[in-house]
Amino acid sequence: MERREKFFTSSGIELPNDFNPTNSHFDYETDLGNPGEFPYTRGIRRNMYRGRLWTMRQYAGFATAEESNKRYKYLLSQGTTGLSIAFDLPTQIGLDSDDPLAAGEVGKVGVAIDSLEDMLILLDGIPLDQVSTSMTINATAAILLCLYLAVAKRQGVSFDKLNGTIQNDILKEYIARGTYIYPPKPSLRLITDTFAFCAREVPNWNTISISGYHIREAGATAAQEIAFTLADAICYVEAAISVGLKVDEFAPRLSFFFNAHNNLLEEVAKFRAARRLWAKIMRDRFGAKNPKSMMLRFHTQTAGSTLTAQQPEVNIIRTTIQALAAVLGGTQSLHTNSMDEALSLPTEHAARIALRTQQVIAYESGIADVVDPLAGSYAIEELTNQLERLATQYIQKIDEIGGMLKAIEIGYPQREIQEAAYQYQKAVESGETIVVGVNKFQIEEDQTIPIMKIDPEIEKNQIERLRAVRNRRDSAKVEQALLKLEEAAKGTTNLLPIILECVESYATVGEISNRLRKVWGEYHETLTI
């Protein structure tokens, strides 16, 4: 089978026939460095997975709190080492399940959480001082964190014993995903309030997971994923410093979330380049002194956008390659997608295979026994350099525009991602880029795999429970807490303690969000062409 004459990565880096020192600017004698040392190209810990494996997460959440609780307990019994909670769309955008705009979406792409009662059921029987919990939530992140804290109080677990992460990354919502509520300025306030509150009260909690994942899912290249993610991070750091926080007080709890795609070598290099570039930014741009402020700690999820509805079993192979890239690149946490996710939410069977993929890599492949096993590879080191160079150019461009908020306002990152997505789709449609089972190696589909279906009665049952909560709570106490929040939102008081008071009074996610909408308004996307 003949192949094309020239080969390029997703970022447009031309691949020579042979990588070697004569065509590289990398000094292998002086630049490689050691694992666990600045600039952390080779990993943030000296012994990496020899000391401790990455956290094995399986992103899960669907239907009601009861159903999701059963799935979490099943996954924990099968060797998952951290929970990863998916919330339904109404919860993500601050709507209660009985809101007319929520109709048809309750419990569909995640679990429906309306009040503290749902959160108590979701986490029933799960000791919060013994698990690490990641919550994929952004616009309503402060509310969901407070619900989690309220459950911890009910369990008698002190806040300093809690470990976990809230995604809490609103900028990427404006760029690539769309589950925002408020305009950027008040949204950033919620984020910096969370930084300050957790630094004081929940010291082991990762207060943000700055996400390149969704940027990549929207069609970005590997270089764009690094650049736009770190540019978002720069914006958050600047916002925190502007309200009086010291960089070394909050930066050690910043975390990141990256995508893992199919090009194994480029993806490994991407993670290494991102680590090195962030270390330099924190030291040189922000004057960080604490080594933990310079360490880019990240969770990885395999690429949902690469999964195909055609021949879905092939997705197991794609996910394996992507998971290998994440581990070879030094991730701290990993979710492996299930083979059926192009068709539905994962079945229990598919989720187990996805988890077993991680476990085979961890315990049978030998990859975890060596720190940064591809270090010194001519190809890996050159790709690391090239990706860092391209990402730096994007960040410099964003600086020239006036920072990431301004760049988002004029649609710069959105246009760059749209162009990259367009070029990729053209290559697939022309056959230049092969997607197995889609534009080559097709078969007559004569079998289907089992898929999960959400019972339509779930929405009705969730609404009934929500209304029962409203009927039996102390309405005067709820209104008092919500009024307090509304007034505080007009000023500069840290909102987290007041949101915690609201959720403990059984105010709902929608009610809290609506009080903030009343003060701050809603954001409406600017059309970019």
Summarize pLDDT for 169-204 with one digit per residue, the tens.
999 999 999 999 999 999 999 999 999 999 999 999
Compute the distance between CA of residue 464 and CA of residue 461 in angstroms, rounded to an integer: 5
What value does the mean pLDDT take over residues 267-294? 98
What value does the mean pLDDT take over residues 369-375? 96
Cα distance from N-terminal residue to C-terminal residue, the chain: 39
Compute the distance between CA of residue 207 and CA of residue 210 in angstroms, rounded to an integer: 10
- Complete edge-to-edge strand list for the sheet that includes strand 208-211: 205-206, 163-166, 132-136, 82-86, 55-60, 333-335, 298-302, 254-260, 208-211
Compute the distance between CA of residue 193 and CA of residue 500 in angstroms, rounded to an integer: 13
Beta strands at 254-260 and 132-136: parallel, antiparallel or unpaired: unpaired
Q: What is the pLDDT of residue 228?
A: 98
pLDDT band at 82 (very low <50, low <70, confident <90, very high): confident
Compute the distance between CA of residue 519 and CA of residue 185 in angstroms, rounded to an integer: 12
What global pTM score does this model have?
A: 0.94
pLDDT band at 23 (very low <50, low <70, confident <90, very high): low
pLDDT tens digit sequence for 437-472 = 999 999 987 667 888 888 889 999 999 999 999 999
206-232 as b/e: b if 16+ CB within 10 A: bbbbbbbbbbbbbbbbbbbbbbbbbbb
pLDDT band at 18 (very low <50, low <70, confident <90, very high): confident
pLDDT band at 2 (very low <50, low <70, confident <90, very high): low
19, amino acid identity: F
Peptide bond into 252 cis (omega under 30): no
Please report the DSSP string for 135-147 in residue order: EE-STTHHHHHHH
Percent of the chain surpassing pLDDT 90: 88
For the chain, list the domains and their CATH numbers: 21-430 (3.20.20.240)
Q: What is the pLDDT of residue 299?
A: 95
Q: What is the mean pLDDT of the chain?
A: 94
Backbone angles phi, psi at 333, to 5 degrees: -160, 145
Q: Mean pLDDT lowest for which of 41-45, 62-66, 275-279, 421-425?
A: 62-66
Q: Mean pLDDT lowest for which of 32-41, 112-121, 222-231?
A: 32-41
Q: What is the pLDDT of residue 454?
A: 82
Residue 529, pLDDT > 60, answer: no
Q: Mean pLDDT lowest for which of 8-17, 141-150, 197-206, 515-524?
A: 8-17
Q: Which is nearest to 142 in space by CA: 492, 494, 462, 474?
A: 494
Q: What is the pLDDT of residue 259?
A: 98
Structure tokens that stand for 439 in this block: 């534009």
Q: Is 82 helix (H, G, I), strand (E, B) or coil?
A: strand
Residue 410, pLDDT > 60, answer: yes
Residue 25, pLDDT > 80, answer: no
Q: What is the pLDDT of residue 452?
A: 84
62 compared with 231, residue with greater pLDDT? 231
Q: What is the pLDDT of residue 310?
A: 94
Residue 329, pLDDT > 60, answer: yes
